[in-house]
Structure 1
């Protein structure tokens, strides 16, 4: 367990010291780092705990150390996870990462909190923990040591409610495991979403035929643990998740809605330094795509990305590629290294795709996504529907084509299309004609049904992060509560 940042001087026993512990994947770490800086700006001391596997790429591809060096109340700590490979994990390795954490990290974390560097007997004891909801063992250690603990769920609230908190109910009602092959069968027993969900819209793990599968069992534990913590932090704003939040608050009365956290973070940071610009990406970003976008008129380019974990087959890639080219709309496509299962072989790509792409396309390994979505040339987003990506698109008023893969993305795609009316959900299909039509539908200048709605959501985002907005108020309450919880520690 190595320390990356120097400790500051000793402090009074009850001065707030928050431990942030995210699950080691790009999206959650990104959110937790933004929350860390928001807490640092308020004067709270923060220790950020990363597993070794995620911390290496973070240091290699970002300026996170130099950025946080301006906060004497911040430090990184790392903890072993037993993973040997250097590259960030893909979707296929998700279970490997979770299993490694369970075997290696879990006992070391308990030692760290009970008797080690962050225990009550240490120079600066942790007064409040904020842990990823997936890391139920961390919340259990906090409860065991009487340390106040808050859960931070970086997945969508709509998925957390429908497929996590209601997972036991879905099993009891006989919806799980699925019977038959009709994925369009309605799910009518989840409060608030009676006329929204079909089987295909539940989280990906709900399709598992075996209820003893580790994903399902882990989720059941997570759903039982979160209500036992002192509060639940969500990356959303009240207006967006009005369908599910009232029901969730009956289970978890103390909810802090501080999203979109990237927008709130940017607003607070710009107040401190208007020229601040940085990234938390564990992949090296290709900034040249921004100058490529500069060549195109407003709202004419489709941005395509399946995020930091998802993969697609070579055939699926070709179908998406044909659809993009046939739409005749300029496109910027992020193809993450390793995202094509079985590898990429350009020699068998049809020559017409390569030629048309030279004319209207730009393909990069990774892009500065927030900057891309904020670029005036981007008018649509072909997305895997990860929650960070969804919120980043909503904040910029960009209509989406949702092609979800796993975890919360199935639910997110449905809500984008049916509840928020911010795009088109094409889940469970991979067809060039469907892709082409979806691109044309969201990029057509006559698509006012999408632009009107997405512009409304973008305006609501600005209101929520304003001085008197719901997310700003929630953040203020979170900071106040951290101080109160810290002062009452024995």
Structure 2
């Protein structure tokens, strides 16, 4: 009975933060929740005391949230993102990744039709169980769509890499699947062959997908990922969230919904392309992020002048 009540509680809406539910709140698994509360309070107090806040986002994406924050804090706000669009993506040596990127996957993608491949990556921190890994593997296979899957060493509890896969699994794919340890994500998301991104919804990955107009399949693990996934699926409506335990049938159905030519999938793709265009425009001269950057520079210079005169 307690378990059932807990599940029902998780589905309740947080009236102060629509459309979030209790289960979407960015909690950290800890036996000392008061320390998490202290951490959040510290974030809020530091924000109030700061001279300004720089956001890796853009106005057209989060105008409502930015407006609310501006009303609640007297601190100047500067949404100047997407940050990654200011950096080159075609130079492997410029990557900050600790794992070597597999550039061969780009050649593999070159042999596929536009919007035909599912890209799967759960970031550099998240981890999954062996049973979840196998359900994901069979869900991908059963969807009958080509897939590029990043399996980071250490992603699977108790295993170094892809040891849990059955013997002959990769060979039986006959080239329909490509598994790598790490990949040049920005270059992949910009590739014409990518039709969907199955992601953990870290903010960097979410924003990179938005900027390339790639629909998302959301599988958040912790903290802000749950909030991001909820916004992707229910506010921006540019993806679908896997809500239940990892099960190959649900995985297959969700992939098909996003990838196939159907009403829901078409609407998701149309909205994703709209945000891609807005993300591109916001960085142009006179547009929102460019103007915010100019305001930020002027703000910093005014602070330097004040400090100099005061001294």
Instruction: Identify whether the pair has TM-score above 0.5, normalized to the shorter chain.
Output: yes
Q: Which of 300, 304, 313 is the equivalent residue of 2:120?
A: 304
Deviation at 1:469, TM superposition (A): 1.2
Greater displacement, 474-483 / 453-462? 474-483
- Name the residue aligned to 1:452: 270
Deviation at 1:427, TM superposition (A): 3.8
Aligned: 1:242 with 2:68: no
Deviation at 1:247, TM superposition (A): 1.1
Deviation at 1:282, TM superposition (A): 2.9
Aligned: 1:227 with 2:48: yes
- Name the residue aligned to 1:318: 134
Aligned: 1:422 with 2:238: yes
Q: 1:258 to 1:345 in 2, by over 3 A?
A: closer
Aligned: 1:199 with 2:22: yes
- Name the residue aligned to 1:402: 218
- Name the residue aligned to 1:260: 82
Q: 1:239 to 1:216 in 2, by over 3 A?
A: same
- Structure 2 SS opposite 1:362: strand
Greater displacement, 227-236 / 444-453? 444-453
- Structure 1 SS opposite 2:217: strand
User: Deviation string for 1:218-269 (max 9, x for gaps)?
Assistant: 2221122111101111110011112311111123341000111112x14xx7
- Structure 2 SS opposite 1:181: helix
- Structure 2 SS opposite 1:413: helix
- Name the residue aligned to 1:391: 207
- Name the residue aligned to 1:327: 143
Q: Within 2, Cα distance between the matches of 1:356 and 1:441?
A: 25
Q: Within 2, Cα distance between the matches of 1:427 and 1:204?
A: 17
Q: Within 1, Cα distance between the matches of 2:27 and 2:228?
A: 11
- Structure 1 SS opposite 2:125: coil
Q: Within 1, Cα distance between the matches of 2:164 and 2:122?
A: 22
Q: Which of 290, 294, 300 is the equivalent residue of 1:476?
A: 294
TM-score (norm: length of structure 1): 0.58
- Structure 2 SS opposite 1:341: coil
> Does the Cα contact within 8 Å between 1:237 and 1:471 map onto a contact in 2?
yes
> Does the Cα contact within 8 Å between 2:153 and 2:160 map onto a contact in 1?
no
Q: 1:246 to 1:240 in 2, by over 3 A?
A: same
TM-score (norm: length of structure 2): 0.90
Task: Point out where structure 2 has 5 or more consecutive residues left out of the alignment.
Answer: none
Q: Which of 9, 16, 19 is the equivalent residue of 1:189?
A: 16
Aligned residues: 299
> Does the Cα contact within 8 Å between 1:332 and 1:362 map onto a contact in 2?
yes
- Structure 1 SS opposite 2:64: coil
- Greater relative CO (CA pairs within 8 A, separation 6+): 2
> Does the Cα contact within 8 Å between 1:231 and 1:252 map onto a contact in 2?
no
Aligned: 1:280 with 2:100: no
- Structure 1 SS opposite 2:140: helix
> Does the Cα contact within 8 Å between 1:382 and 1:401 map onto a contact in 2?
yes
- Structure 2 SS opposite 1:197: coil
Task: Point out where structure 1 has 5 or more consecutive residues left out of the alignment.
Answer: 1-178
Q: 1:246 to 1:315 in 2, by over 3 A?
A: same
Greater displacement, 279-288 / 448-457? 279-288
User: Deviation string for 1:407-448 (max 9, x for gaps)?
Assistant: 100000000000001000114521111111111111113321
Deviation at 1:453, TM superposition (A): 0.5
> Does the Cα contact within 8 Å between 2:170 and 2:177 map onto a contact in 1?
no
Q: Within 1, Cα distance between the matches of 2:301 and 2:164?
A: 60
Q: Within 1, Cα distance between the matches of 2:26 and 2:166?
A: 35
Bigger Rg, structure 1 or 2: 1
Q: 1:315 to 1:356 in 2, by over 3 A?
A: same
Q: 1:477 to 1:239 in 2, by over 3 A?
A: same
> Does the Cα contact within 8 Å between 1:314 and 1:344 map onto a contact in 2?
no
User: Deviation string for 1:13-51 (max 9, x for gaps)?
Assistant: xxxxxxxxxxxxxxxxxxxxxxxxxxxxxxxxxxxxxxx
